Amino acid sequence: MNYLNLSSIIEPVALLGGSMLQYSGWHGTTNKRKEEILSTGFSYKKYEPGIDKQRHPNDLGNGIYFFLPFNRDTGKIIASAYVAKYKSSELRKPGITPELINAEITIESEDNIFILDEPKNQSLLDEYRQRAYIEIEREIASISDSGAKNRATLVNQNQGLVIELLLDLASQHGKDFKAVQSKTYTDIPFLPVFDGKNGEEICIRDLNCITNIL
């Protein structure tokens, strides 16, 4: 993939003062899973290109997702609504209740985050999608069939998978991103929508960035 110009995300741009970025994010889960997280910390399975029968990545790739402040919400309201809607089948089980985790997140600089809303990154993602069509289709074919795979293929053009493959390519050139961040839309009717979005999420790829769990 040497024909893809990665310079815009590989070459870091110095930030004035070099100050770290700190976030407060909300993660929706269940009481059982929260107990495990508080006991042993967060964990997730990284996506590995070329490996058969993996799960299709979520919209911002694999990692731990947190809702960030958006409009008048700190992220807590949308995280609560997310659990109620998307964990509803699990919540019907005896003894399972919705829970939230508030975490402090520290990242060295903006250069360590793939910010999808930035035009240069969106253009690069689109360019990669077009030029690596064969590689992407081969990867899709190897992923385990599931509802998530079908929805991504039909609705979202496999954005999470394309992000994973692009950032894997970047890592081969010495640039490892610790997180992916973007304004997003979650299908929750009562939340106000601005320019098609009703929240902002960050997907933490490097778990060392999660500095405190509350």
pLDDT in tens, 20-58: 899 999 999 999 999 999 999 999 999 999 999 999 999
Q: Which of 106, 133, 105 shows the shortest CA–CA distance to 4? A: 133
The β-bridge partners of 204 are: 64, 179
* H helices present in 96-196, as ranges: 119-131, 133-142, 147-151, 159-172
Of the chain, the percentage scoring pLDDT greater than 90 comes to 77
Which tens digits make up the pLDDT trace of 158-181? 999 999 999 999 998 888 999 999
pLDDT score at 154: 75
Edge-first strand order for the sheet with 113-115 is 113-115, 179-184, 199-204, 64-68, 21-30, 98-107, 210-213
> Does the pLDDT value for residue 79 go beyond 90?
yes
d(CA 117, CA 167): 16
Please report which confidence band the pLDDT of residue 13 belongs to, taking 50, 70 and 90 as the band edges.
very low
Distance CA 199, CA 151 (A): 20
Angstrom distance (rounded) from CA 27 to CA 33: 11
pLDDT of 177 reads 95
Q: Which of 178, 180, 198 is nearest to 188 (CA)?
A: 198
Asked if residue 16 has pLDDT above 90, the reply is no
Residue 104 has pLDDT above 60, yes or no: yes
* Token pair in block for residue 3: 């024909």
**Cα distance between the two ends of the chain:** 42
Q: CA angle, corner 172, sides to 8 and 52, nearest 5?
A: 120
What six digits make up the tokens of 58? 């979520």
For residues 147 and 193, which has the higher predicted lDDT (pLDDT)?
A: 193
Q: Is the pTM of this model over 0.75?
A: yes
pLDDT for res 152: 78
Please check the confidence at residue 12 and state whether its pLDDT lies above 60. Answer: no
